[in-house]
Structure 1
Amino acid sequence: MTDAPRGRRPRSVRESLASIVLGFETIIVFLAALLLFGLGSLPAWLALGGGALLCLVMVATIGLLRYNWSYAIGWLVQAVIVLTGFVNPAMFIVGALFTAMWAYCMVTGSRLDNNKENS
């Protein structure tokens, strides 16, 4: 006898928005790591290894967004990306833009989720 297929777990608006921001940010961080490697701003192992590690952390965080504590990791990722501006000043702008998007998604997503629960 076969069991009935399980449906997908419903995702909150905040979780969906956070995964979108982190997904696009992963692409940008990958390209920024290649840029830092190409410019010689950092040793190759640090530019590529650090970029790969940050990308892995972001992808893992996307998978963990069902837990409330994972949003703190998202905020930590935003801070690390802003701090990469000390290596390449353009990353201050990139980090600020993604941090602003992250903050907006956290506030708006939480508000929409609360409105959905209350109605």
Structure 2
Amino acid sequence: MTAEAARPRRRRGAAESLASIVLAFESVVAFLGGLVIYGLRALPDGVEPWWGIVAGTIVAVLMIAAGRFVRYRWGIVLGWVLQLVVALGAFLVPALAVVALVFGGMYAYATIKGAALDRRNARLAASEDS
């Protein structure tokens, strides 16, 4: 038996689970947003269009990484920074404003309501132990 098999899995809270799911799905949309920026040649003159694909890929990878670290406070903050990056993309492609509103709202719900659920579950677990 390996050491990994003997160790129990860490229990994840609602905020961590929900936030990581939102960021994972949004990473696909961020990559596709980069393709849209490339296809529409929405970058300013002098900037090669393929930088749109690069930017979309970087944001998508950062979202996946942030989803792994949302158990920490800085991981949640990184998720919010990435939401801001997507919102700023609306200056290049206005349709990204809709993406920012939808996924920003879902991320807000995941982090705020998920934390409330975690506090409630902790309170219920503490009252069961008493």
Once the 2 structures are TM-superposed, how far is the Cα of residue 94 of structure 1 from its aligned partner?
Answer: 0.9
CA distance in 1, matches of 2:33, 2:61: 14
TM-score by length of 2: 0.85
Runs of 5+ consecutive residues of structure 2 not aligned to the other structure? 125-130
Overall identity of the aligned pairs, in %:
39
* Residue identity opposite 1:28 in structure 2: V
RMSD: 1.5
One-letter code of the match for 2:94?
P
Q: Which residue, out of 100, 106, 113, partners 2:105?
A: 100
Shift of 1:107: 1.3
Please give the residue correspondences for 1:22-101 in structure 2 after superposition, counting only pairs within 5 Å. 22-42=23-43, 43-101=48-106
Deviation at residue 90 of structure 1 after TM alignment? 0.5
What TM-score do the two structures reach when normalised by structure 1?
0.93
Runs of 4 or more above 6 Å deviation: none
How many pairs are equivalent? 119
Aligned in 2, Cα 1:2/1:12: closer, same or farther, shift over 3 Å? closer
Q: CA deviation at 1:48?
A: 1.0
Consecutive unaligned residues of structure 1, counting only runs of 5 or more, are none
1:2 Cα offset (Å) = 5.8
Find the counterpart in structure 1 of residue 127 from structure 2. none
Q: Return closer, same or farther for 1:105/1:2 CA change in 2, 3 Å cut-off.
A: closer
1:87, distance to aligned residue in structure 2 (A): 0.2
